[in-house]
């Protein structure tokens, strides 16, 4: 981006000018704008999560599940969560129909009532 012999400005930038036009950023500038990488997750800091991960039947997106576990403060509810998980029935023949672990945590599914225990015709 420089002027030619007759003094005209080429590409919209005057000679010696360091300003860049939109879409013409260099790689270093683009790298600075990128979101920083997440730090490694400290799974050992949440032993309840490790127990949950071991018990949950679908082993996908562990990092996302860990983030949800921490965000919802599940460590304090580990025993309640594991007890509920033990009572739930999952169709292991169709694992894609089992919610991802992070979805299960974010949906607070340990609070779901067991449909076999609850009588829909019982008076409250």
Q: Which domain holds residue 51?
A: 43-111
What are the pLDDT digits (tens) for 55-84? 999 999 999 999 999 999 999 999 999 999
Q: Locate tokens 């974010």: which residue?
A: 106
The answer to whether position 66 is within a domain reads: yes
Number of structural domains (the chain) is: 1
Q: Is the pTM of this model over 0.75?
A: no
The answer to whether position 61 is within a domain reads: yes
**Residue 70 buriedness (CB in 10 A; 0-12 / 13-18 / 19+):** middle
On the question of pLDDT at 98 being above 60, the answer is yes
The answer to whether position 83 is within a domain reads: yes
The answer to whether position 85 is within a domain reads: yes
Report how far Cα 52 is from the mean position of its chain's Cα atoms.
17
The answer to whether position 123 is within a domain reads: no
What are the pLDDT digits (tens) for 1-41? 454 555 555 555 555 555 555 665 666 666 566 656 666 89
Residue 49 to residue 73: CA distance in whole angstroms: 10
């Amino acid at each position: 981006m420089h002027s030619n012999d007759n003094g005209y400005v080429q590409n919209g930038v005057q000679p010696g000018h360091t300003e860049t036009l939109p879409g013409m950023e260099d790689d270093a500038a683009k790298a600075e704008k990128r979101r920083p990488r997440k730090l490694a997750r400290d799974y050992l800091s949440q032993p309840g999560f490790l127990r949950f991960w071991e018990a949950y039947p679908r082993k996908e997106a562990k990092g996302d599940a860990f983030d949800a576990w921490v965000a919802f403060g599940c460590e304090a509810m580990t025993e309640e969560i594991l007890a509920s998980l033990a009572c739930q029935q999952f169709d292991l023949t169709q694992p894609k129909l089992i919610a991802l672990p992070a979805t299960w945590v974010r949906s607070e599914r340990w609070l779901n009532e067991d449909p076999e225990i609850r009588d829909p015709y019982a008076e409250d």
